[in-house]
Amino acid sequence: MNKIVPQFGVGTFRLTGQTVIDSVKTALEVGYRAIDTAQIYGNEAEVGQAIAESSVNRNDLFITTKIWTDNYAADKLIPSLKDSLQKLRTDAVNLTLIHWPAPSLGISVAEMMHNLLEAKQQGLTEHIGISNFNIDLTQQAIDAVGIENIATNQIELSPYLQNHQLVNFLQSQNIDVTSYMTLAYGKVLNDPVLNEIAKNHQASTVQIALAWALQRGFSVIPSSTKRENLIANLKAQEIQLSLEEMQMIEALERNGREVNPENLAPAWD
């Protein structure tokens, strides 16, 4: 399967101002080439500044942003994305996602996806996709714009929330799975099982959680403000977990969802 979304990127959720500028610049310095942001993060301009101030060529980067729920309607989506492009200082992003399905808004999946496809057809984004969609809504998105126009579904996944039904569905459809909150807001740091596995690999629990996600075939976008952590996160790509270790992590599943905003989230599978 040909992955569209790079396997490893840097996330920018909850980072603003100089903090996000420094984080992205450092990430680019130490080897990251994919950056994930969103309109609602309020940091697209700072991400754009960091990219502009780095020595990395724009053509070598994969930039993802997400359309916020206020901007799904036909008269809002494209203008809002153009605004994002201006902030990010680029003519087009590589990937644009619908951030949340927000069923209570009364805008159908078909409508929001058609509006997003129009942005792709205008050359404002190379790929389009979805985020936080369950199986039913993903199927609606596929029906609306065709499976070839769904690059990824970016969903919360961690050792504590493994979302097998949704993941199996996406992988059966050859839709990239992007994992966010892979470290469960830092809860994995002190996990005894992950700690035991980490010792086997002279690694950290964070690296083990990331390695687990990578081995499941997910793309990951962990964020950090510290250079040493950004470098350590990248090194998770070098860890090969055994079948037994993967099964130990599988047993940590507890449907531990960290992010589930009322009115925005779907009914999860």
Q: Which pLDDT value is given to residue 2?
A: 63
The backbone region for 186, taken as left when phi is positive above 0, alpha when psi lies in -120 to 50, beta otherwise, is: left
Q: Is the pLDDT of residue 75 over 70?
A: yes
Q: Is 185 left (phi over 0), alpha (psi -120 to 50) or beta?
A: left
Mean per-residue pLDDT, 237-244? 98
| Residues 98/66/10/174 CA torsion (nearest 10 deg) | 30
| pLDDT of 165 strictly over 70 | yes
Is the predicted pLDDT of residue 60 greater than 90, yes or no? yes
CB 146 within 8 A of CB 120: no
Average pLDDT, the chain: 97
pLDDT above 60: residue 9: yes
- Is pLDDT at 3 greater than 90 in this prediction? no
pTM over 0.85: yes
Average pLDDT on 20-41 reads 98
pLDDT at 1 over 60: no
Query: Measured in Å, how far apart are the chain's first and last C-alpha atoms?
Result: 25
Architecture of domain 10-184+218-223: Alpha-Beta Barrel (3.20)
- Work out the percent of the chain whose per-residue pLDDT is above 90: 99
Query: Is residue 41 annotated as part of the catalytic site, yes or no?
Result: yes
Q: Is the pLDDT of residue 153 over 90?
A: yes
Find the catalytic residue in 32, 41, 72, 180: 41
What SS3 string covers 185-211? HHHHHHCHHHHHHHHHCCCCHHHHHHH
DSSP labels, 96-155: EEE----GGG---HHHHHHHHHHHHHTTSEEEEEEES--HHHHHHHHHHH-GGG--EEEE
What integer is the mean pLDDT of 114-137? 98
Which position has the token pair 């037994």?
Answer: 244
Question: Could you tell me the pLDDT band of residue 84, with boundaries at 50, 70 and 90?
Answer: very high
CA-based torsion, 71, 74, 78, 79: positive or negative = negative
Return the domain boundaries, the chain: 10-184+218-223
pLDDT of residue 198: 98
The pLDDT assigned to 70 comes to 97
201 is in an annotated binding site: no
Percent of the chain with pLDDT over 70: 99
Cβ neighbours for 196, distance < 8 A, ≥ 6 positions apart? 248
For 207-228, the pLDDT digits (tens) are 999 999 999 999 999 999 999 9
